[in-house]
Structure 1
Amino acid sequence: MKKQIGKTTKTAEKEMSFLDHLEELRWHLIRATIAVVIVACVVFLMKSFIFDTLLFGPKNPDFPTYRLLCKISNLMGLEESFCFQDQAFRIQSRTMAGQFSAHIWTSITLGLIVAFPYILWEFWRFISPGMKGNERRTSRGFIFSASFLFFCGVLFGYYVVTPLSINFLGSYQVSEQVFNDIDLSNYTGLVRASVLASGIIFELPIIIYFLTKIGIVTPEFLKKYRKYAMVLVLILSAIITPPDIASQVIVAVPVLILYELSIFISKWVLRKQRRLERQNAKRNQTT
């Protein structure tokens, strides 16, 4: 009877410990959600700037990306091959709640983007107590590195992927009898998806770092499938950019650089783990 009582007590303690962890995770998620909502409310009040300047900016021919590409084409002697004119499409809303819905979802998306460092910080606060001292020290720059890569990806998606996609898809016609009237939700959805997808893709080195630490990915694995990754990147860049070589290269090159950087990071993580294992083995021999 005493043994059974002892077992049930230990089981209850384990269950309480697990429930305590769930409760702690719940509060971290709540605080992160509150941060997103606060930023989204602020963004919601900045309607004119968000839509007229940010969202509809890549549609205007004087957008910085178009001006830069036009200057480069002139310097290369290509005349006005990359000088974009007014977009041959109109943006419209065909549902009663279309504009309000686009406003809400755009505010939430920007809330996620702006509050991303705080979300990472809450995530870090949850997992850091379970890490060892050396692991905590080596991962101190996690929030800064992940946030920096994410914002670089967001800027890349906004200034490169979005304008190239809008210019191609907005001007594409199967017949002169068909005019492009783009729904507001589709337009804002394209901008949001391009920006968020690019931000997530730029997190590849961070993802590889953690996958290597837990033993799922190795440098040899990444090298072995490098050619497949390159083909996948080229296919992806061909889908989201206009059908010309220059635009595809502009999108593909940063992603390929990130892949090579991920191989280097994976090597560094394994080298560091092996060094720690050798140090621990020497300590065990001395003791």
Structure 2
Amino acid sequence: MSSVEQTQPLIRHLLELRDRLLRCIVAVIVVFFGLVYFASHIYEFVARPLVERLPAGATMIATDVASPFFTPLKLTLIVALFVTVPYLLYQIWAFVAPGLYKHERKLVMPLIVSSSILFYCGVGFAYFVVFPLIFSFFTAISLGGVAFATDIASYLDFVLALFLAFGIAFEVPVAIMLLCWTGATTPKALRQKRPYIIVGAFVVGMVLTPPDIISQTLLAIPICLLFEVGVFCARFYSKKQPEKEDLDA
């Protein structure tokens, strides 16, 4: 086989990768422009857990001249990215699917769907459960001579970090099933390591959340529960050797 023939498949893969990246970018941009009109409403919705718990007379502030304009736009772009997560994951799957065996292709699509659902569940859990608790805790702490006023840009960075932390943490069952399916570990081995997993969950909660015991615990407990769910579901997956019909597919 000549060097020209060897480079042609690589070029085709690079062109396909470019096309799928462009589709992902276009999808995010389209959703962004569809939501940009509601940018201020989106920010007000995200800020509601804090605003409703501010002390009497306290408000959020903008310490930068351009913050009231750019902060809602930044949030809208992030929301557009969150909304298009299933489509982005599908593009990734479509790119790698030709190189997978038949039984692998059957597994990937359910994993994409479950990953998207779990990520959204993590974000929803952070907004509806975690935020009310930690903001009630923070706003209840008062220091003499110190007015409680949160910068809108700092608040956005704070909640986005928590959204991402809980979204990723809720992917634990998918990660466990993938590890067991590829043969990297087994459900039995994971059950034996349960005490270390529990300690690790609280360490992760300490690293990824603000320095308060409430948010740390609220992240660690779901991780432990989702670990048990992942170990249970992983019993139905085991490393499979490719069959002859897979090789011909």
Task: Give the TM-score taking structure 2 as reference length.
Answer: 0.83
Distance 1:220 1:170 in 2: 45
For 1:232 and 1:87, how far apart are their aligned partners in 2? 36
2:175 alignment partner, one of 207, 210, 229: 207
Give the deviation of 1:99 after TM superposition: 2.0
Please give the residue correspondences for 1:161-180 in structure 2 after superposition, counting only pairs within 5 Å: 161-173=130-142, 175-180=143-148
- In the alignment, the residues of structure 2 paired with residue 205 and residue 128 of structure 1 have an alpha-carbon distance, to the nearest angstrom, of 22
Tell me if 1:266 matches 2:228.
no
Q: Which amino acid aligns with 1:45?
A: Y
The amino acid across from 2:230 in the alignment is S
Q: CA deviation at 1:205?
A: 1.7
Is 2:97 aligned against 1:128? yes
- The answer to whether the 8 Å contact 1:149/1:203 transfers is yes
Asked if 1 retains the 8 angstrom alpha-carbon contact of 2:93 and 2:108, the reply is no
Are 1:146 and 2:115 counterparts?
Answer: yes
Indicate the SS of the match to 1:27: helix
2:69 maps to 1:100: yes
Partner in structure 1 of residue 24 of structure 2: 32
Are 2:217 and 1:253 aligned? no
Distance between the aligned counterparts of 1:236 and 1:132, measured in 2? Answer: 35
Counterpart amino acid of residue 14 in structure 1: Q
CA distance in structure 1 between the partners assigned to 2:5 and 2:131 by the alignment:
52
Q: 1:104 to 1:262 in 2, by over 3 A?
A: same
- Of residues 47, 57, 65, the one that matches 1:56 is 47
CA 1:13 to 1:254, structure 2 compared with 1: closer, same or farther past 3 Å? same
Cα distance in 2 between the residues matched to 1:127 and 1:212: 20
Larger Rg: 1
8 Å CA contact 1:162, 1:195 repeated in 2? no
Q: Does 1 or 2 have the higher relative contact order (CA < 8 Å, sep 6+)?
A: 2
Deviations 1:72-91 (A, max 9, x none): xxxxxxxxxxxxx5446531
Pairing 1:157–2:148 present:
no
Q: Which residue of 1 aligns with 2:156?
A: 188
TM-score of the two chains, using structure 1 as the length reference: 0.73
User: Secondary structure of the residue that 1:45 maps to in structure 2?
Assistant: helix
For these two proteins, the number of residue pairs brought into alignment is 241
Q: What's the RMSD between the two structures over aligned residues? A: 2.7
CA contact (8 A) 2:59 2:149 kept: yes
Unaligned runs of 5+ in 1: 1-5, 62-84, 282-287
Tell me the distance in 2 between the aligned counterparts of 1:111 and 1:17: 34
| SS of equivalent to 2:173 | helix
Unaligned runs of 5+ in 2: 245-249
